[in-house]
Amino acid sequence: MSAMTFQRITVNPHQMGGVPCLRGLRIPVATVVGMVADGMSDERILKAYPDFTGDDIREALRYAAEAVRESANAPSTREP
């Protein structure tokens, strides 16, 4: 991810297999994004993960959006 910087996202190959997580807490970004997609309110997410803040949730969403943008702009490896 080159266009944006993410202060709350950590990627450690020795933790969770290198999956992007929030602040090294072993909670994958994908888990948080999935909770939002399933309709969970910020309040419910923060209750489930008391170490989180609203900024963590927003950064997870920004990170996911940037990942999709980069993926959409990546050269296709499929043959026409």
Q: Is residue 34 assigned to a domain?
A: yes
pLDDT tens string 3-59: 568 999 999 999 999 999 999 999 999 999 999 999 999 999 999 999 999 999 999
**Domain encompassing residue 27:** 20-68
| pTM of the predicted model over 0.85 | no
Residues of 50-72 as b/e, b for ≥16 C-beta within 10 angstroms? eebeeebbebbebbbebeeeeee
In this structure, what CATH number is given to the domain that contains residue 55? 1.10.10.10
Residue 73: the pLDDT is 76
| pLDDT value at 74 more than 90 | no
Tell me how many domains the chain contains: 1
Question: Does some domain include residue 59?
Answer: yes
Q: CB burial class (10 A; 0-12, 13-18, 19+) of residue 29?
A: buried
